Amino acid sequence: MSADPSPLVLQGLTPPLRLSDFRLAAFDMDSTLINIECIDEIADAAGRKAEVAAITEAAMRGEITDFKDSLRRRLTLLKGVPSSALAQVLRDRLRFNPGARELCAALKAAGLKLVLVSGGFTYFTKHVAAELGMDFVRSNALEIVNEQLTGGLLMQPWGEICDGEEKRRMMLNCAEHIGATAAQCIAVGDGANDLPMMGAAGLSVAYHAKPAVRAKAMVAIPDGGLDRLLTVFA
């Protein structure tokens, strides 16, 4: 029998909160809604997982402060990887974290709009967004030529790289679109590039997060499922 999960860590909050006070929830994808860092698993196909994963880990801990630079460095190592590796990662390795479906379903049932904001890739965010009923999505588009990754990204109407500031901007823009305020937003993430949106939201949630992120979140879920967040609401 598994041990009971650790208590939620609450900072500056006195539960229960009212879910009706919130209108939008923004989620990171990799290691938050899903169990993997997709870029690390793609790199595995090129025999470069250790090198790429080390950069990912340093970026998520906040040791590499320029997310765009860290992403470009990792993408360069993926040059020449067959695009079929994406399908393999999606099929064989990507799984939803415990409680992800339940939390998203409960939030939608309560009338909240859901936003997926990821420094990962559209190939995966399209799948995750469809499965969880996301209302808005922003992520990076891998450039593929002759069925191989080029090591670059495609320019999109809003820009090239969804970094921490773009996550924050997307969350706030979506809130404005539905007539909500920043205080009516929930932001959920695990890495340093989630801190800008978490800092702007009325409720910030760290899920199995890096220490620097846990320290700044209003709610930290150290273990167990994402749906544990529902216990802070009336």
pLDDT per residue as tens digits for the range 204-216: 999 999 999 999 9
- Helices assigned H by DSSP within the chain: 38-44, 49-61, 67-76, 84-92, 100-109, 122-132, 164-177, 195-200, 211-216
Q: How confident is the model at residue 3 (pLDDT cuts 50, 70, 90)?
A: low
Active site residue 28: yes
Q: How confident is the model at residue 127 (pLDDT cuts 50, 70, 90)?
A: very high
Task: Answer whether residue 145 shows pLDDT above 90.
Answer: yes
Task: Answer whether residue 2 shows pLDDT above 60.
Answer: no
The two tokens of residue 40 are: 């690390």
Write out the H or E segment, with its range, that includes residue 140. strand 136-145
The two tokens of residue 211 are: 């220490």
161: nearest Cα among 170, 172, 174? 170
Task: Write down the catalytic residue from 21, 30, 92, 135.
Answer: 30
Classified as helix, coil or strand, 156 is: strand
Do 217 and 204 meet the contact criterion of CB atoms below 8 Å apart?
yes
10 Å Cβ neighbour count for 76? 12
For 9-35+96-232, CATH number? 3.40.50.1000
Q: Rounded mean pLDDT of 81-108?
A: 97
What is the distance, to the nearest Å, from the Cα of residue 227 to the centroid of all Cα atoms in its chain?
16
Active site residue 30: yes
Res 1: pLDDT = 41
Task: Write down the catalytic residue from 28, 163, 194, 227.
Answer: 28
Helix axes 122-132, 100-109, angle to 10 degrees: 60
> What is the reported pTM?
0.95
The two tokens of residue 18 are: 């009212």
Res 114: pLDDT = 99
